[in-house]
Structure 1
Amino acid sequence: MRTANDLCLLCKSNAADKTNSHVIPSFITKGLLMTGERARGYTFSTDSVDKKSKPVQSSDKEDFILCSDCESYFGVLETVFCNKLNNPILDIRKQDQFEWIDEPEQKIALLINYNGLALRLFLTSILWRSAVCNTHTVHRFTLQEATVEAMRICLMEFRSQGIREFNDTIEGKQQTFPFNFDLTTIIERGHTNGKLVFLHPNADEEGFMVLNDYILTYQFHPNDGKAKLIQTLNSGDSNQVIKLKVSRIEAWNQIIDELKVKFAEKAKAYLDREGKTYVPMVK
């Protein structure tokens, strides 16, 4: 078990003195874990459905992974993402910050006023944290050590302690990241069939994360000559304009419903194999 005497896993120079670091940024899970009786959160695994699941009041946190400086840096990445994408995409007054392409089941928003390097660093921070942390949600999420180190180096190159410093640091800079990706969101956030955070485990080459109102699909080492199952809109070239998928409500709900069926099928197979019985969630 890590302690405050261990080194920060990101900078590898300062003491990892930060406690209660969110693995998945808290603003992403805010819609999952509301206050009062309006919503409750639960953690569960498809191979432990014979055990009671307890309500949770906050998304996963872990101690002694980061130093205070690196935690602040991740806070900068999250703030920039919220200010430049998460909030404007929902604001009808700010729709002109994006160029829009209509497709049958979705729209494509081109992030013309957003430095693509900033978004790539933010997504990298989520993937990296998921790979190095060991909480309930991410403990089975694994990546190749070389991939984790490549992401760490990318993140460290632009480490900053404030938004102004960060913007100055990335201005005019280029970086090639070890993954291509899609990021999908939905405008009708209050009308979805279900809220969840789910990580595709053992995704050394390609996989996905359901992050409440976002779905991140990623493809590592896209130019290694291997056939890929996942097609992505955005390359690892930080100079390219980011394309964000904005799904229509019916298509989004279909994705979530299909995932729920897959969870249920896997859980049932586990119970059948182990001769166990499902235990309902605690209320």
Structure 2
Amino acid sequence: MRKPTDECLLCKVNAANKTNSHILPRFISTGFLGAKGAPRKGFLLNGINELTAKPKTVQDSPKEDYILCEECEAYFSLVETASAPAVKFWQTKAAEGELKIVPIHPHLKLVQLNSPEPVVMRLLVYSMFWRADISDLGTFKNYKLDSDLAESLRCSLLEFKALANGALQANLKTKEITLHPYATMTAGAFKDETANVLAAINPGNPASLHVDKFGFYIFKAEKDIAGNFMADFSNIKISDNQIMVVSEQLWYDVMVKRPLEMAVEQAKKNLLDSK
């Protein structure tokens, strides 16, 4: 178990004295627990005891102590604050004509975000995958990215570290970020907004994270996305800043139903192995 005197896992300089660090940004990882201001409740599925015990209830998205210092936590908060309006309210912005929408086919369209700056959005995504990789919580215990990718994400995040928006903007003008193609997916509507999931299932290439109403995928390099169906819908170039929007049914089948089925399949396997 980590201690407050251990080094920060991002900067590797300061003491990791911050408690209750969210592994996934709170602004996009708690909606499925219920409306803000109302009692919140979710269930922790671990693929182990779902068939033999009642799932543990949770009231917040995963948090961990002593992984970051106060400065690095403040930096991540800065990135999240800059990203939150565009991510949370893209539908309102699209309805008001602020965003370009590119129809692909009846089950898919692309939304071109006009904020935050593409590198800021990239930093947000990098931070989620990196935090999931370094977390020791049960949800992420077996989620380990390729070590070279994880270190590249850490170095990119550290390169742009800032404690105020002005400093962040200055870094955006003078520094370069290592490009790892990534894709963001959501749905135009949801059958039940409290039926979504947080899941770290695949740390491969691409690695994936299911974060309530959003799905994220990241590839190690551009050559790895060549030929993948997501190649035309991902953020590959430095200026790319787009989201895939899929149908309600496709979202449910891929991003909700399948992770739950996988948890049940794992629980069945573990039950048989224990006999």
TM-score bin, normalised by smaller chain: 0.7 to 0.9
Tell me the residue number matched to 1:185.
186
Residue 122 of structure 1 and its aligned partner are, at CA, apart by 0.4
- Equivalent residues in 2 for 1:71-220, closer than 5 Å: 71-83=73-85, 85-92=86-93, 95-102=96-103, 103-171=105-173, 173-177=175-179, 179-189=180-190, 191-192=192-193, 194-201=195-202, 203-220=203-220
Deviates more, 1:240-249 or 1:63-72: 240-249
CA distance in 1, matches of 2:115, 2:64: 34
Query: Partner amino acid for 1:245?
Result: M
- Listed as ranges, the gaps of 5+ residues in structure 2 are none
- Equivalent residues in 2 for 1:248-267, closer than 5 Å: 248-255=247-254, 256-267=256-267
CA distance in 2, matches of 1:36, 1:154: 36
CA distance in 1, matches of 2:121, 2:128: 11
CA distance in 2, matches of 1:37, 1:87: 19
Tell me the residue number matched to 1:5.
5
- Higher relative helix content: 2
Q: CA offsets, 1:205-242, max 9 Å, x none?
A: 22321100001122223426x9876634324432x322
Deviates more, 1:103-112 or 1:42-51: 42-51
Match of 1:57 among 45, 56, 59: 59
Whether 1:29 aligns to 2:29 is yes
Relative to the length of structure 1, the TM-score reads 0.85
Residue 164 of structure 1 and its aligned partner are, at CA, apart by 3.0
Residue 36 of structure 1 and its aligned partner are, at CA, apart by 8.0
Against the structure 1 CA distance between its residues 112 and 26, is the aligned structure 2 distance closer, same or farther, given a 3 Å change threshold? Answer: closer
CA distance in 1, matches of 2:194, 2:31: 13
Question: How many equivalent pairs are there?
Answer: 270
CA distance in 1, matches of 2:270, 2:109: 38
Tell me the residue number matched to 1:17.
17
CA distance in 1, matches of 2:212, 2:218: 16
Q: SS where residue 250 of structure 1 aligns?
A: helix
Please say if residues 234 and 243 of structure 1, whose CA atoms lie closer than 8 Å, have aligned partners that are also in contact: yes
Which runs of at least 4 in structure 1 moved beyond 4 Å after TM superposition? 35-39, 92-95, 226-230
Residue 193 of structure 1 and its aligned partner are, at CA, apart by 7.5
CA-based RMSD: 2.5
Please say if residues 176 and 237 of structure 1, whose CA atoms lie closer than 8 Å, have aligned partners that are also in contact: no
Q: CA offsets, 1:3-37, max 9 Å, x none?
A: 11111111111111101111111112221223787
- Listed as ranges, the gaps of 5+ residues in structure 1 are 276-283
Query: Partner amino acid for 1:144?
Result: D
Query: Partner amino acid for 2:8?
Result: C
CA distance in 2, matches of 1:187, 1:101: 13
Relative to the length of structure 2, the TM-score reads 0.87
Q: SS where residue 154 of structure 2 aligns?
A: helix
CA distance in 1, matches of 2:75, 2:38: 34
Q: CA offsets, 1:234-263, max 9 Å, x none?
A: 24432x322211122122122222332333
Please say if residues 47 and 267 of structure 1, whose CA atoms lie closer than 8 Å, have aligned partners that are also in contact: yes
